Amino acid sequence: MSYQNLDVQPLAGALGAELFGVDLSQPLANSVFAAIHQAFHDHLVIFFRDQTLTSAQHRDFAQRFGKLTAHPFVDGLDGFPEIIEIVKEPTEKRNWGGPWHADVTFQKEPSNGSVLYAKEVPANGGDTLFANMYLAYETLSDGMRGTLDGLEAVHVSDVPDTYYGNHKSMREKDGGAEGLGSTAHPVVRTHPETGRKGLFVNRGYTRHFKGMTQEESAPLLNYLFEHATRPEFTCRFHWQPDSIAIWDNRVVLHHPVDDDFSALRGETGYRRIMHRATLAGEKPV
């Protein structure tokens, strides 16, 4: 497939590709961005290396994918409310982000995606995993797909300090409790641009099926959580300074790997700083 002089190198069979041959700090011709956007739809998460961006350039590039929005619980950078700084200090044991999840699915209009920019990363460790939710749906049996089509599931936010309480350098948003949410979304979501169906549940926020208790829902939900993150549905990205990842939150789960074993042993671990611009979303259907 031609991508208008971009070098697109798939990262895994399921999803993910690295793109080479473009400087994102410069204004992009419409034809170049169209090729990037096509690669985004084809591979669901795309990566760039060696991109030196100011916060303004980060914002401007991210806006090419759609309107940006602020995080409900984490304050943005000064002058750039749409960009949050994600920080793990050397004494902290976990990367910010929690288990496998799609972002803010407890909102009525969950994010369409994110543009994540690596500012400071360790030489090894701190990678991010991604999973293809099209494949998670398409590889289910006909009977299971028939069971899930038409079902809704309830997604619930954690308490606000979950998002920054264990990360001393994260910026708490004043009045963040106002962002607490609970909403029901289709278990099977149709992508508004591709028309393909994908599984739309995640361990981070999905609590139960609408009209059922958590106990009744747990066996099937736990199966779906495990099924969606089978190794063959995933890719893994190793961060370097000035790397960028852009993923489609509508059909991709992600998980930052908690592998700072030095910090877990009480020693000095690694520092990891990322800047994330978040794309506004729409109501899932």
Catalytic residues: 101, 103, 254, 276
Q: Please state the three-class secondary structure of the chain as a single string.
A: CCCCCCEEEECCCCCCEEEECCCCCCCCCHHHHHHHHHHHHHHCEEEECCCCCCHHHHHHHHHHHCCEECCCCECEECCEEEEEEEEECCCCCCCCCCCCECCCCCCCCCCCEEEEEEEECCCCCCCEEEEEHHHHHHCCCHHHHHHHCCCEEEEECCCHHHHCCCCCCCCECCCHHHHCCEEEEECEEECCCCCCEEECCCCCCEEEECCCCHHHHHHHHHHHHHHHCCHHHEEEECCCCCCEEEEECCCEEEEECCCCHHHHCCCCCCCEEEEEEEECCCCCC
The 10 Å Cβ neighbour count of residue 95 is 23
Q: SS3 of 169, please? A: coil
Q: How far apart are CA 64 and CA 238, in angstroms?
A: 25
Closest to 221 measured CA to CA, from 199, 250, 236 = 199
Give the type of residue at 178. Answer: E
Contact partners, residue 165, CB within 8 Å, separation at least 6: none
